[in-house]
Structure 1
Amino acid sequence: MKVGFIGTGSMGSLLLDAFITSGALMPQQIFASNRTLDKVNLLAQRHPGLNVCSSNVENVKNSDIVFLCVKPLQYKDLIDEIRSVVTPDQILVSITSPIQIHHLESVLTCKIAKIIPSVTHLSLSGASLCMYGSRITVEDRLLLEKLLSFISQPLHIQEAHVRITSDFSSCGPAFISFFLDQWIEAAVEKTGIGRDELTTLAGEMLLGTGKLLTESGLSPHEVQERVAVPGGITAEALALLKQSLDGVFHQLIATTHAKYDDDLNKIDVLFGDFKTL
């Protein structure tokens, strides 16, 4: 199996690194291309044997599966470049949430999947959100999910739910890290404790809490009940958080969905310029 990566920016290079680190792919199986060739050359230095492609066309011609790791508004130029060389037996995987499967199926003859990754794949963990086009077979799905299982927990979702699920799996690490960063900053200022010590402690706490939710079967509410003794310190602090954060998460969801809808409208206009198959 040969796997291509078009776009080796933050997420493209993360996926590439994770697949190699996990043993899912050997560098010799990977073809990479990017608008800035120096970025691909750096990856090839880090992973000897990786195939550097001088163009996206060369990449597609050599790959069985191609991950499209470019920004939403770059898709039109990319598709204009590769649409004449894709074949019906190839699988193209978009990792860009506003790009809809029907957009790609209307202008490309190949099989289309959509997978939303997460920065957590750097540690070979977290969930990858999987959506499949009408041409994807059961065998194709199993192949993709086997590959993804080396670096994540593949979860099949409805494309209509991609935004809200991405809030948790993809944006969530940033949201949780922001909360921890603010908490650590306050603790350092209040007590003089070392930042590194607290960061390590917070990471272990977060890892353990995740295991309680995924392995022990506890719900978030049940975790709170296990920790917060009525009238105790945790209960007092939780009451403060509930009061202070009232409505914040509804606003957070409204914000991410508004940006997504705006991006989607731009993509609809972009793909309206294509002649469909």
Structure 2
Amino acid sequence: MKVGFIGTGSMGSMLLDAFITSGALMPQQIFASNRTLEKVNLLAQRHPGLNVCSSNAETVKNSDVIFLCVKPLQYKALIHEIGKEVLYGQIVVSITSPVQIHHLESALPCKIAKIIPSITHLTLSGASLCMYGSRITEKDRLLLENLLGAISHPLEIEESHVRITSDFSSCGPAFISFFLDQWIEAAVEMTGIGRQELTALAGEMLLGTGKLLTEGGFKPHELQERVAVPGGITAEALAHLSLSLDGVFHQLITTTHTKYQEDLSKCDELFDDTKP
């Protein structure tokens, strides 16, 4: 199998690195292109054997599966560039949440899937959110999930839930890191403990908590009850958090969904212009 990457920015290069690190793909199986050719050349230096393509059309011509790792408003130009090169039997995978499957199926003749990755794939962990178009067969789905299974836990979702699930799987690492960073900052300021020491401790705590939720059979509220003894320090601190964070997560979801709807409207306009 030959896999193409159009766009080797933050998420494109992350996926590429993860697939190679996991052994799911050899560099020789990968074809990559980017508006800035230097970025692809740097990847080829890091992964000798990787095929550097001078154009996106060249990437398409050489690939069975093509990951589109570009920003939503770049899709119009990209489709005009590769549309005549895409064949029915190829699988095009978008990693951009506001670009809808029906947008791509109306503009390209091939099989369409949408996958939302996470930075956690750099450690071969986390969930990848999978959505499939009408032309995707069971064989295609298994091929994609076997590939993604080497770097993540593939989870099929409804496209209508892509925003809220992305809040957890894709945006979540940034949200949790923000919380930890604020907590660590306060601890360093108030106690004088070393930042590096606390950061390492917080990372181990987060890793262990994740395992308790995924492997230990705990639900979040059960974990709180198990740790927070009534009348104890943890319980008192949790009561403070409950008051301080009241409404915060509703506001967070409102913010991400509002921005998503704005982006979705722009994509609707964009793809209306791509119709014949």
Instruction: Give the TM-score of the pair, scaled to structure 2.
Output: 1.00
Q: What's the Cα RMSD here?
A: 0.4
Aligned counterpart, 1:24: 24
CA deviation map 1:76-128 (0-9, x unaligned): 00000000010000000000000000000001000000000000001100000
Aligned counterpart, 1:212: 212
- The reply on whether 1:60 has 2:68 as its aligned counterpart is no
SS of the equivalent of 2:162 reads: helix
Distance 1:217 1:61 in 2: 47
Q: Letter of the 1:216 partner, please give it.
A: G
Aligned counterpart, 1:126: 126
Distance 2:50 2:93 in 1: 20
CA deviation map 1:123-157 (0-9, x unaligned): 10000000000000000000000000000000000
Distance 1:266 1:217 in 2: 42
Matches within 5 A, 1:4-43: 4-43=4-43
Q: Letter of the 2:43 partner, please give it.
A: L
Distance 1:15 1:195 in 2: 30
Aligned counterpart, 2:170: 170
Q: Letter of the 2:85 partner, please give it.
A: V
Distance 1:242 1:43 in 2: 46
Structure 1 unmatched runs, 5+: none
Report the CA distance between 1:228 and its aligned residue: 0.2
Aligned counterpart, 1:145: 145
Report the CA distance between 1:275 and its aligned residue: 1.9
SS of the equivalent of 2:107 reads: coil
SS of the equivalent of 1:86 reads: coil
Distance 1:127 1:113 in 2: 16
Structure 2 unmatched runs, 5+: none
Aligned counterpart, 2:77: 77
Report the CA distance between 1:216 and its aligned residue: 1.1
Aligned counterpart, 2:255: 255
Distance 1:155 1:165 in 2: 10
Q: Structure 1: which 4+ aligned runs deviate by more than 2 Å? A: none
Distance 2:265 2:147 in 1: 32
Report the CA distance between 1:217 and its aligned residue: 1.3
SS of the equivalent of 1:89 reads: coil
Report the CA distance between 1:162 and its aligned residue: 0.1
